[in-house]
Amino acid sequence: MSENKKVKKNKSVEIDTSYEPIVHDDKYILEVNKLKKYFPIKAGLLQRTVGHIKAVDGISFKIEQGTTMGLVGESGCGKTTTGRTILRLTEKTSGQVLFKGKEIYDYTKPELQTIRPQIQIIFQDPFSSLSPRLPVREIVGEAVKEHKIVPDNEYYDYLDEIMENCGLQPYHKDRYPHEFSGGQRQRICIARALALNPDFVVCDEPVSALDVSIQAQIINLLMDLQDKYNLTYLFISHDLSVVEHISDTIGVMYLGDMVEFGKKVDIFKNPLHPYTKALFSAIPVPDPTVKIDRIPLEGAIPSPANPPKGCKFHTRCASCMEKCKSITPELREMEPGHFVVCHLYD
Amino acid sequence: MSGDKNMKKTNPNYLSARESRAISRRNRKITREFERQNKRKNVPKREYLTEMKDNNNVVEFDNLNTYFFTDVGTVKAVNGVSFDVPLGKTVGIVGESGCGKSVTSLSLMKLVQRPQGQIVEGEIRFNAGDQVYNIAKTPIKEMYNIRGNNISMIFQEPMTSLNPVFKIGTQVDEVIALHSLDIFDSSDEVKKSSDGKVKMTKEGKSKVKKRTMEMLDLVGIADSEKVYNMYPHELSGGMRQRVMIAMSIACNPRLIIADEPTTALDVTIQAQILDILKELKDKLNSSIMLITHDLGVIAGMADYVVVMYAGRIVEKGTVEEVFKSPSHPYTIGLMAARPGVKKDANRLYSIPGKVPNPVDMPDYCYFRDRCEKRFDACYGEYPGEIQLSPTHFVSCYLYDEGASKNE
């Protein structure tokens, strides 16, 4: 009883779960609407919930079939949580995730199993995401067997084909992950994801642990495979030059919010949000004669447990106005398909 | 024995237990000899003091060879590296992982993993102002005075290089108490015991703390009093890296080695940290050896660039020369492989093949098998250094007029 009372007293613990549902459009393979993911902060002897980390705080975007969406932002802004919540690897707090028009969170567990092959993920660190005790054929083939992607008699041919497509040799099948270099491991991770014939792949920083020349190989591989199988990617990365290369649309996240969303060309030619501008100006250019006019971002990212009121970016914004400190800006469309959340454009 | 032969057929790198034992026995003999040299007491100064070739340089690497004697064979991690770090300038070292960038800098600090790792040949001349040390010959005990005081290092991963169980203040204080003896008025204020522990009087402690605060302010930590009493886990990655920088500049070093200082950080934080480094370098008039694989960072920071591949320098020159007219095929490949903002290419260039096995390197150009411009001369021995301009050097037969070109 006393626990309930305490919770009611503390207003910040209550979560606003209301949202307006969207209608499915056949053009899009994935639609995300006001997705929220809060992690409870527990404290005290009874482990009461005293607050929430607002990792993803009501973001919305849509991805068309066969395109790549890049998700950029500083570490801790909720990029990875977004990816994981879409795949239902962590449960959402509120909002909608429509995959091919169906809400992912409406599936029961056995039903979820049946659509899992269609949605896959490639993890960031190829050194910790492969089981050291399994040979490559098990790593790549385990799920193929489980989901019965191909009949048993074609199983080994299928594995060979997938591995060859991902730049691995058939004799690699009997080796263990420790026998491979970083780039090859990432290829195994990609082969594992693609063996299930997915339609949609979340790539969670697939190249940030790799060297420049290996990085180029993996990016080329991902783009080739996209052409071949008409894949859709959600490409999460903090490396803006990689995202610029691979993406068709880009979403910029800051502290759980999507502050800008649009086509790659629009965003790179004409960044609107002050955060996007600052982020782009910080990219080091490999040309010693170019002097960049850097927009400095003062201070660090505020705590997502207690984000600033009004616009979350106002504490670090160079063009902060009075109303930014109290009123939360609304999403507005500046050009067709180019959205920004900022009071500057009211 | 026939079993061994079969294994050899399927795996060329296979070593039998007997071969492996023989190698380790040989290695132990070699490393023991090196260790004996390192641990000698009362080494006469003339053995490790030398002269600089050019007094405007802080460090001169001269044919440095650092090998690792492992149980599968000798890894030549640094294989005949020569370059200079001029006073007050930044030298950037680029290359892929495993190319020997870090081992070069560790050799300079004499921090290579002993006893397997040893400086086998060559000189590292370090100009400490009044004296010039040959680091390769300097005994470990003498290195304690050079490390921190004259050369300091900023490591890649700020979380693992700060001690999690001590407060930030304690850790920075320790550096200052050990090395910056000039801030104390009399020698009573600080006493070093033989086991490396430092004892200070109250006055001494307050002086050290004052200096720590100055350093924390200098690297742009706003709330230095609060940070002084915090533990590393309470700080963000960027703040931790600032603390690392504060520690490394605490004793006004002549040379700062920054080993991938921003690789673990976000772009915006990276920009901040690089600005701080640049500013401090000018303030202290130190030199920086910047090790990174990010060509963008090098272009923005460095005055000179050294490109390394498989333990050797393939190209070196001023930053304009290397970026405007990259000459070695490997440098050209590296530049093309980087996805650039405002670069209109649908496919990224990727260097074919992979780095040769470090245990037995070929005797020809290490890059030959991956090179798209190879020609007859490349099948000879490893190419020498060819001078393109007073400061621009490249190791490639393409620029050797004597080599016959067969296109």
Higher pLDDT, B15 or B335: B335
With CA atoms as reference, the chain A residue closest to B319 would be: A288
Strand duo A102-103 + B57-70: pairing = unpaired
For residue A44, the cross-strand partners are none
Tell if the CB–CB gap between A216 and B348 is shorter than 8 Å.
yes
- Cβ atoms of residues B153 and B259 within 8 Å: yes
Structure tokens at B246: 């504060």
pLDDT value for B394: 93
pLDDT in tens, A278-293: 888 888 887 878 777 7
Pair B14, B73: CB distance under 8 Å: no
- Supply the angle between the helices A212-229 and A182-194 in degrees, to the nearest 10: 20
Amino acid at B135: I
Using a CB-CB cut-off of 8 Å, the residues of chain A touching B274 are 284
Lookup result for tokens 């802004």? A77
Q: Is the peptide bond before A304 cis (omega within 30 degrees of 0)?
A: no
Chain A (159-198) residues lying within 8 Å, Cβ to Cβ, of chain B? 181-182
Contact A287 B323 (CB under 8 A): yes
Closest alpha carbon to B64 in B2, B114, B109, B3: B109
pTM: 0.84
Burial class (CB in 10 A: 0-12, 13-18, 19+), B32: exposed
In the predicted structure, residue B304 carries a pLDDT above the cut 90: yes
* Mean pLDDT (whole number) for B356-379: 85
In whole angstroms, give the CA distance from residue A187 to residue B144.
45
Amino acid at A292: I
Whether B323 contacts A191, CB under 8 Å: no
Residue predicted with more confidence, B154 or A210: B154
DSSP annotation of A21 reads P
Q: In the structure encoding, which two tokens stand for residue A269, read together?
A: 């030619």
Residues A222-256: tens digit of each pLDDT: 999 999 899 999 999 888 888 988 999 999 999 98
Residues of chain B contacting residue A220, judged by C-beta atoms under 8 Å apart: 347-348, 350
Angle between helices A274-281 and B267-284 (to 10 degrees): 50
**What does the alpha-carbon distance between residue B337 and residue B349 come to, in Å, rounded to a whole number?**
5
d(CA A294, nearest CA chain B) in Å: 9
d(CA B287, nearest CA chain A) in Å: 18
Chain B stretch 355-394, residues whose beta carbon is closer than 8 A to a beta carbon of chain A: none
Number of CB pairs, chain A paired with chain B, less than 8 A apart: 118
Integer angstrom CA distances of residue B57 from B52, B85, B106, B128, B327: 8, 6, 19, 10, 25
A268 dihedral zone (left: phi>0; alpha: psi -120 to 50; beta): alpha
Give B189-225 pLDDT, tens digit per residue: 777 766 667 777 888 888 889 989 988 988 888 888 8
pLDDT given at position B313: 93
Q: Which helix (H) or strand (E) holds A291?
A: none
Q: Which of B255, B290, B369 is nearest to B95 (CA)?
A: B290
Q: Tell which of B350, B351, B371 to mutate to test the A interface (max A CBs under 10 Å).
A: B350
B377 in Cβ contact with B399 (< 8 Å) = no
CA distance, residue B91 to nearest chain A CA (Å): 13
How high is the pLDDT of residue B113?
Answer: 86
Contact B271 A294 (CB under 8 A): yes
Q: Which among A211, A217, A282 is the nearest to B97, CB-wise?
A: A211
Alpha carbon of A264 to those of A218, A248, B314, B338: distances in Å? 21, 5, 37, 18
Strands B287-291 and B255-259, sheet pairing: parallel
Rounded to 5 degrees, what are φ and ψ at B29? -65, -45
List Cβ neighbours of B296 (8 Å cut-off, separation of 6 or more).
A241, A283, A284, A285, A286, B338
Which of A176, A208, A213 to probe by mutation at the B interface, max B CB count within 10 Å? A213
Residues of A with Cβ-Cβ distance to B269 under 8 angstroms: 74, 300
Interface of A with B in 61-90 (CB under 8 A): 74-75
pLDDT digits (tens, 9 = 90+) for B156-173: 777 788 899 999 999 998
pLDDT value at residue B195: 64
Residue B235: what residue type? L
Contact with chain A for residue B165, Cβ under 8 A = no
- The whole-number pLDDT of residue B289 equals 93
Between chains, do B296 and A213 touch, taking CB under 8 Å as contact? no
Which residues of chain B does A181 touch, with a Cβ-Cβ cutoff of 8 Å? 354
How much is the pLDDT for A263? Answer: 93
Residue A154 near chain B (CB below 8 Å): no
Q: For B261-282, how does the pLDDT look when each residue is reduced to its tens digit (9 = 90+)?
A: 887 778 888 888 888 888 888 8
Q: What is the pLDDT of residues A25-44, one digit of tens each?
A: 888 999 999 999 999 888 88
Reading the block at residue B286, the tokens are 């130190």
Q: Give the chain B residue nearest A73 (alpha carbons).
A: B266
Radius of gyration of chain A (CA): 22
Residue B6 pLDDT: 65
| Structure-block tokens of residue B11 | 């795996």
- Which of B14, B263, B267, B321 is the mutation pick for testing A, counting most A CBs within 10 A? B267
C-beta atoms of B96 and A223 within 8 A: no
| Element counts in chain B: helices (H) and strands (E) | 13, 14
Q: What's the gap in Å between the CA of A104 and the closest CA on chain B?
A: 32
Residue A175 C-alpha from the chain's centroid: 31
Answer for the pair B248, B152: CB distance below 8 angstroms, yes or no: yes
What tokens does A263 get? 């086509």
Give the closest residue to A80 by CA, choosing from A125, A136, A41: A125
Q: Where are the alpha helices (DSSP H) in chain A?
A: 2-9, 79-86, 109-115, 136-147, 155-165, 182-194, 212-229, 240-246, 264-269, 274-281
pLDDT of residue A188: 92
Nearest residue of A to residue B262, measured between CA atoms: A284
- The verdict on A15 touching B (C-beta cutoff 8 Å) is no
CA atoms within 13 A on the CB side of A32: 26
Q: Is A283 on the interface with B (CB under 8 A)?
A: yes
Question: In what helix (H) or strand (E) does residue B154 lie, and over which residues does it extend?
Answer: strand B151-154
A238, B266: Cβ pair inside 8 Å? yes
Spell out the residues 6+ positions from residue B323 whose beta carbon is closer than 8 angstroms to its own: A286, A287, A288, B295, B299, B305, B335
CB contact under 8 A, B341 and A240: yes
Residue B223: beta bridge partners? none
- Percentage of chain B exceeding pLDDT 70: 91
| Of A325, A317, A324, A326, the residue nearest A343 (C-alpha) | A324
Distance CA A207, CA A213 (A): 11
pLDDT at site B361: 83
Please indicate whether residue A23 or residue B316 has the higher confidence score (pLDDT). Answer: B316
Q: Does A317 touch chain B (CB under 8 A)?
A: no
Listed by number, the residues of chain B in 281-320 with a beta carbon closer than 8 Å to a beta carbon of chain A are: 293-300, 302, 319-320
Residues B267, A300: C-beta atoms closer than 8 Å: no
Contacts of A292 in chain B (CB under 8 A): 300
- Residues of chain A positioned with their CB less than 8 A from the CB of B302: 288
The rounded distance, in Å, linking the Cα atoms of A217 and B349 is 8
pLDDT at B295: 86
Task: For residue B359, name the pLDDT band (cuts at 50, 70, 90).
Answer: confident
Nearest neighbour of A75 by CB, restricted to B266, B274, B319 = B266
Whether B399 contacts B326, CB under 8 Å:
no
**CA B401 – CA A165 distance, rounded (Å):** 43
Query: CB of A303 within 8 Å of any CB in chain B?
Result: no
What's chain A's average pLDDT? 87
> CB–CB of A250/A262 below 8 Å?
yes
What is the Cα–Cα distance from A316 to A319, expressed in whole angstroms?
A: 9
Nearest CB to A211; choose among B96, B267, B302: B96
> What's CA B307's distance to the chain center, in Å?
13
Tell me which residue in B222, B293, B341 faces A283 most closely, judged by beta carbons. B341
Cα nearest neighbour of A276 on chain B = B268
Report helix, strand or coil for A186: helix
Q: What angle do CA B67, B68, B72 make, to 5 degrees?
A: 125
Tell me whether strands B393-394 and A102-103 are parallel, antiparallel or unpaired: unpaired
pLDDT band, residue A8 (cuts 50/70/90): very low
As a whole number of angstroms, the distance between CA B407 and CA B403 comes to 12
Mean pLDDT of all residues belonging to chain B:
85
DSSP strands (E only) in A237-337: 249-254, 257-263, 331-335
pLDDT of the residue at A321 = 87
Q: Does B276 touch chain A (CB under 8 A)?
A: no
Q: What is the distance between the alpha carbons of residues B176 and A311, in angstroms, rounded to a whole number? A: 43
Residues 206-265 of B with CB under 8 A from A: 222, 236-239
**How far is Cα A54 from Cα A257, in angstroms, rounded to an integer?**
10
Sheet holding A249-254: strands in order across?
A: A119-122, A200-204, A232-236, A68-72, A249-254, A257-263, A338-341, A331-335
Q: Judge: A244–B347 Cβ closer than 8 Å, yes or no.
A: no
Q: Which residues of A touch B309 (CB under 8 A)?
A: none
Strand order in the sheet with B393-394: B151-154, B255-259, B287-291, B90-94, B304-309, B312-318, B393-394, B386-387
Over 60: is that where the pLDDT of A129 sits?
yes
- Coil/strand/helix, residue B385: coil
- Is residue A6 within 8 angstroms of chain B, CB to CB? no
Q: What is the mean pLDDT of residues A206-232?
A: 87
CA distance B55 to B169: 37
CB B314, CB B394: distance < 8 Å: yes
- Listed in sequence order, the residues at least 6 apart from B20 whose beta carbon sits closer than 8 Å to its beta carbon are B71, B72
For residue B186, the model assigns a pLDDT of 66
Q: Are the beta carbons of B239 and A300 separated by less than 8 Å?
A: yes
